[in-house]
Amino acid sequence: MRATFGLGRIAGVRIGVHWSVLLIFAIIAFGLARGRLPQAYPGYAQVLYWVAGFGAAVVFFASLLAHELAHAVVARRNGVLVDGIVLWLLGGVARLKSEASNPAAELRIAGIGPLVSLLLGGLFLLCTWLLALASAPRLLGEVVAWLAGINLLLAVFNALPAAPLDGGRLLRAFLWWRTGDRLKATTGAAWAGRVFGWVLVILGLVVFMRGDGFGGLWLALIGLFLISAATAEGRQAQLRGALAGVPVRDAMTRTPLTVPGALTVEVLLTDPLYRSRHSALPVTGEEGSPVGLVTLDRARSVPPGRRGEVTAGELMVPLSRVTVAGPDDPLADLLPRMEPGAEHRVLVLDEGRLVGILSLSDVSRTVAWQMKADPGQRQDR
């Protein structure tokens, strides 16, 4: 899940928002302003219902952000790399670049999210009681009560033992601790996630047939998402198992063709030297060290009249935003950090020197080779 736009950083963690957040934001605000609030406390001006609805939606997403930020902070404290947080249609996700090193770390990272939601729900519940004692406006009390309920529901739902929910991570930590095998634990949690997803789909269809069209479709949508995410997680676990013990050097393309940062786009696109099957090329500085990555698609997007002026260095993705690995790093540990697209190639550096480049197609070829290899002849590096 990629962010459509960024909101900056909190505690050093990059925060992004997917466009689908606007949809759920509108649904929450509309549902409260035109449904729950006027029904519970009629007689207020319509503008107050809308202000209360939008305010509740903003605080709700702030609660989601706190939930995911807790995951990210605890993950960093346990040695797990964090790429950022993305808020989207069905909540939020903390993008982790690596995995926990042991079941205890997995337990801490997974458990902190529902705990934060539970604490927020309790805090809003306390505020609801205090507002009632203070005879505060009933509309305000209803909004705070809704926030208490939704955070408690979020805590309970996320604690369900099914991947990719936090409860699925807790289940994986337990299975990992019991079996000592992270792959088997992940497979078990993914299976539980698929089962739970199908339960929600069936329940959604039943609700839909009984007349609650929106509620039924929403349950089915969540169920389908869980099935898809759990299946992807299971496949990821199988890939990690197939690549166990394989270093990055065995999959990378060695000594890749490089582009000087001062080279113009015109030369890059017309010189036969750079006409190759590669869609992305490392960019080097004056001393020959890698400074970024340029894609041919980005080069072609430059207007023909400016191609003689724009250089690869101006067009490149800087090294600070490129995924970097060492030749002896475990290839399986790199998988969570890799994404489709030429701009997401991995540069392989050895003591600052470029020695290779890696793409998902390189990983796929390595997996195919590993799967075909005789298990008895596969090396455990």
Catalytic residues: 68
Say which residue the tokens 């990378």 belong to: 252
Contact 229, 193 (CB under 8 A): yes
Give the strands of the sheet with 5-10, arranged side by side.
5-10, 13-17, 82-88, 91-96
DSSP type of residue 33 = I
Lookup result for tokens 């590993």? 370
Rounded CA separation 207/351 (Å): 59
- Cα-to-chain-centroid distance, residue 331: 20
Long-range pairs, 280-287, Cβ under 8 A, ≥24: 280/342, 280/343, 280/345, 280/357, 280/359, 281/256, 281/257, 282/256, 282/258, 282/347, 282/354, 282/357, 283/258, 283/259, 283/312, 283/313, 283/316, 284/258, 284/259, 284/260, 284/354, 285/261, 285/313, 286/261
DSSP string, 48-109: HHHHHHHHHHHHHHHHHHHHHHHHHHHHHHTT--EEEEEEETTEEEEEESS--SSHHHHHHH
Contact residues for 27 (Cβ-Cβ < 8 A; gap 6+)? none
**Which residues contact residue 102 at a Cβ distance below 8 angstroms, ignoring those fewer than 6 apart?**
none
Side chain identity, residue 157: F
Q: Using CA atoms, how far apart are residues 225 and 240, in angstroms rounded to an integer? A: 22
- Our CA angle for 162, 164, 168, nearest 5°, is 40
Q: Are 269 and 307 in contact (CB under 8 A)?
A: yes
Nearest CA to 111 out of 196, 197, 171, 188 is that of 171
What is the C-alpha to C-alpha distance for residues 246 and 248, in angstroms, rounded to an integer?
7
